[in-house]
Amino acid sequence: MLRTIPHADVTELRLDRPPANALSPELLAALRDAVRGAPGDGARALILSGAEGMFSAGLDVPLFLELDRDGVRTAWITLFETMRALACSPVPVVAALTGHAPAGGCVLALCCDWRVQAEGRFKLGLNEVQVGVRPPGPILAAAERVVGRRQAERMLCTAELFGVDEATRIGLVDEVVPPGEVVARALEWARRSLALPPRTLESTRALCSAELARSFDRMEGEVLERFLDEWFGEECQGALRGLVERLAAKRG
Amino acid sequence: MLRTIPHADVTELRLDRPPANALSPELLAALRDAVRGAPGDGARALILSGAEGMFSAGLDVPLFLELDRDGVRTAWITLFETMRALACSPVPVVAALTGHAPAGGCVLALCCDWRVQAEGRFKLGLNEVQVGVRPPGPILAAAERVVGRRQAERMLCTAELFGVDEATRIGLVDEVVPPGEVVARALEWARRSLALPPRTLESTRALCSAELARSFDRMEGEVLERFLDEWFGEECQGALRGLVERLAAKRG
Amino acid sequence: MLRTIPHADVTELRLDRPPANALSPELLAALRDAVRGAPGDGARALILSGAEGMFSAGLDVPLFLELDRDGVRTAWITLFETMRALACSPVPVVAALTGHAPAGGCVLALCCDWRVQAEGRFKLGLNEVQVGVRPPGPILAAAERVVGRRQAERMLCTAELFGVDEATRIGLVDEVVPPGEVVARALEWARRSLALPPRTLESTRALCSAELARSFDRMEGEVLERFLDEWFGEECQGALRGLVERLAAKRG
């Protein structure tokens, strides 16, 4: 479900869980471990990519809905650990957004250093509220870091999905290239960073991600339990079940 | 001085204190209570509007100048409570900026979720410093949330009033429509938010306003008293009296 | 090495240390003292300018490389004090960017209230990482205040030098004028601020710089010593020596 593709000093991690690269707890754990392990295996930069047309559709809601409270707690902790592994990686991480990136797909992209987006009728955004999920603090913090406070709040509170042009305008993506060139362009960006003194860059990146890192520390204990209360509340469960039914109807 | 106009699920609160919708302590208290009370009365979103050509000219300076220290303290606390009621409302609030919105008028607009501005030769900005009033922390925090730190500091420290185009460019207003369509457009925006799961949206909005909320908590005790010292200082009192004299001369 | 040029109420401080206005500890101390002293000598606003074509090339690396740990500690503390003197000055400070402003030159500019840039093929940016220097917290904080978090992190982590157009686009400079008009335009901006009530403006500016001020307070004790460890680490020393050799080769 996760392919590791070496490009000399740069390692590409490609989400490969058809049909939509939905984020199961297992995929998240695999991604977290791969991001954590890559620098030790010699990677000096990372690319996070998806399938052509679909970077990731976000959390695997049908699967998450089957989990009990302990299972949901573990799954969200795994998502936070994955976000943190990306955002606080000792080496730069470029998101190669090969297609749509709604919800959890957008969240992963927001934790990277640079976002290269495929041209086309693709949608990105934080539409969690639309499906009854209240975005936890680290998602707001990750969005604020990239698009600023105003647009981050707008993204969360309107649950809007943006086309590529609007996503570019608000700074949600940094570059737009034809679909076939996304990974190559991400690789180019990653390679440019290899020219910088690596320890100095690592220490500078740690300074820049320190505030986001603190948002993960705050997402524990009581704060996490209250978030789970909302998750198992009537509104969220009803909205998620509605989503699963719509998905099932679509597949026929 | 404050009209309540129902539009089904959405309640419009219209400032109605001719000639300039100047914010008296009474109007502020009425607005605060209306914003606090509306959700309990069934409003699922709010619109804050003014008169055609004049949203609000800001604090009623002639009236504020007559107040003693206790009166000024209470009046400013009422303004902070009104700001907080808007910014931390459990339901979305749209500002229908029907005309000019300088100083306190701009402050109220900054505490809303979305700002629809009337086209025309209208002026908006935080020109408090121009009239000798040092903007307290929550005004900086409210501005920073909407236009970012750089433009917020610029607004405060230059005391500039912006035309509609520049206000749009810096993100101070979100949309510009012909004067006759401002309330209708605000209503449209408000109605779109009604499609979202209400408790999830409320909880998300609380996350987004938490930092601004803390700025109100800090505006108490010694910090408030030092602010009042500045208010009753020579420079502020002189500048405010000068303003009142210019207003009186203008009215003939 | 620092000229003081009075323009009635406004004092221009002109960096004058040929050939590149490189910042020696002595120049930094002179600038710090001049900024601190000017308001007491009657200056109601300040202009910080450089030579035509070169505002400042940043720290005098050959000179810094000769310093021992105590010398480097003192030199960086002097830079932080200079930054603080500019950012927390009781009177407005305008940067008249008469030419290039890389690294430390850009840092000084970021601590001013407004930046007027000379038109031309000039370069600005925070390229510290390129030469092995990890930017300390106050430099990130100063950049974030001006260009926002996203662009500040981009500046630090890519070490890119920007042309005047891109610098304008990201908000790193506020205005661009022909080289011969930079100081005159800075003077115009400074004079406009003289029309505002001075104590109110001073108190408002203090509110706006409070967060940056805290970043200087955090740059002490252990945090400073760890920064010096990085400075005297192999990677930084090697990169700085490489730079000095390239500079020497260039001069023939």
Q: Is residue B202 part of a domain?
A: no
Q: Which residues on A lie below 8 Å from B170 (Cβ)?
A: none
The A2-7 sheet, strands edge to edge = A2-7, A10-15, A45-49, A93-97, A114-118, A175-177
Q: Tell me how far apart the alpha carbons of residues B195 and B178 are, in angstroms, rounded to a whole number.
A: 26
Tokens in use for C108? Answer: 């000084």
Q: Is residue B102 part of a domain?
A: yes
Q: Which residues on B lie below 8 Å from C144 (Cβ)?
A: 149
Could you tell me which residues are beta bridge partners of residue B46? Answer: B11, B93
> Is residue A246 pLDDT above 80, yes or no?
yes
The alpha carbon of residue C111 is apart from the nearest alpha carbon of chain B, in Å, by 12
Domain, as residue range, for A75: 2-182
- pLDDT of amino acid B177: 98
Tokens in use for A51? Answer: 């399938």
> Is residue C156 pLDDT above 90, yes or no?
yes
- Residue in chain C nearest A195 by alpha carbon: C130
Tokens in use for B222? Answer: 């010694």
> Is residue C208 pLDDT above 90, yes or no?
yes
Q: pLDDT tier at C250 (50, 70, 90 boundaries)?
A: confident
CA B8 remoteness from chain centre = 24
- pLDDT of amino acid B252: 74
Do the beta carbons of residue A43 and residue A89 sit within 8 Å? Answer: no
Q: Which residues on B lie below 8 Å from C145 (Cβ)?
A: 149-150, 153
Nearest in space to A117 (alpha carbons), one of A92, A143, A95: A95
Residues in Cβ contact with C23 at an 8 Å cutoff, skipping those fewer than 6 apart: C56, C58, C59, C60, C79, C104, C105, C108
Q: Is residue A73 part of a domain?
A: yes
Which of A134, A160, A224 to substitute to test the interface with B, most B CBs within 10 Å?
Answer: A134
Q: Pick from B132, B140, B239: which is nearest to C208 by CB?
A: B140
Q: Quick one: DSSP state of residue B46? A: E
Average pLDDT, chain C: 97
Residues in Cβ contact with A15 at an 8 Å cutoff, skipping those fewer than 6 apart: A1, A2, A21, A27, A31, A48, A49, A50, A51, A55, A56
- pLDDT of amino acid A251: 81
Q: Is residue C15 part of a domain?
A: yes
Residue B168 CB burial class (10 angstroms; 0-12, 13-18, ≥19): middle
Do the beta carbons of residue A87 and residue A114 sit within 8 Å? Answer: no
Instruction: List chains adjacent to chain C, taking adjacency as at least 3 C-beta pairs closer than 8 Å.
Output: A, B
To the nearest 10°, the Cα dihedral for C187, C193, C198, C201?
Answer: -130
Answer yes or no: do A92 and C130 touch at CB < 8 A: no
| The residue type at B131 | V
> Is residue C252 pLDDT above 80, yes or no?
no
What is the tally of structural domains in chain A?
A: 1
> Is residue A80 pLDDT above 90, yes or no?
yes
Q: Is residue B85 part of a domain?
A: yes
Nearest in space to C153 (alpha carbons), one of A113, B145, B151: A113
- pLDDT of amino acid A250: 86
Could you tell me which residues are beta bridge partners of residue B118? Answer: B177
Do the beta carbons of residue B50 and residue B179 sit within 8 Å? Answer: no
Q: Tell me how far apart the alpha carbons of residues A193 and A198 are, in angstroms, rounded to a whole number.
A: 9
Q: Is there a cis peptide before residue C19, judged by omega within 30 degrees of 0?
A: yes
Nearest in space to B59 (alpha carbons), one of B78, B35, B32: B78
> Is residue C22 pLDDT above 80, yes or no?
yes
Residue B178 maps to which CATH number? 3.90.226.10
Residue A8 CB burial class (10 angstroms; 0-12, 13-18, ≥19): exposed
- pLDDT of amino acid B86: 98
Q: Pick from C113, C148, C196: which is nearest to B130 by CB?
A: C196
Nearest in space to C186 (alpha carbons), one of C134, C244, C118, C84: C118
Tokens in use for C139? Answer: 């430099």
Q: Tell me how far apart the alpha carbons of residues A33 and C83 are, in angstroms, rounded to a whole number.
A: 42
- pLDDT of amino acid C128: 97
Q: Is residue C252 part of a domain?
A: no
> Is residue A220 pLDDT above 90, yes or no?
yes
Spans in chain B with pLDDT lower than 50: none
Q: How many B-C residue pairs are in contact by the CB < 8 A criterion?
A: 55
Q: Is residue B182 part of a domain?
A: yes
Q: For residues A154-175, give the mean pLDDT.
A: 97
- pLDDT of amino acid C177: 98
The A124-125 sheet, strands edge to edge = A53-54, A99-102, A124-125
Query: What residue spans of chain A are helical by DSSP H?
Result: 25-37, 61-65, 69-87, 103-110, 137-158, 164-169, 182-193, 198-217, 221-231, 234-251
Q: Tell me how far apart the alpha carbons of residues B122 and B96 are, in angstroms, rounded to a whole number.
A: 13
Q: Is residue A57 part of a domain?
A: yes
Phi, psi of A197 (to 5 degrees): -60, 120
Instruction: List chains adjacent to chain B, taking adjacency as at least 3 C-beta pairs closer than 8 Å.
Output: A, C
ipTM: 0.95
Q: Pick from B145, B147, B204: which is nearest to A157 by CB?
A: B204
Q: Which residues on C lie below 8 Å from B243 (Cβ)?
A: none
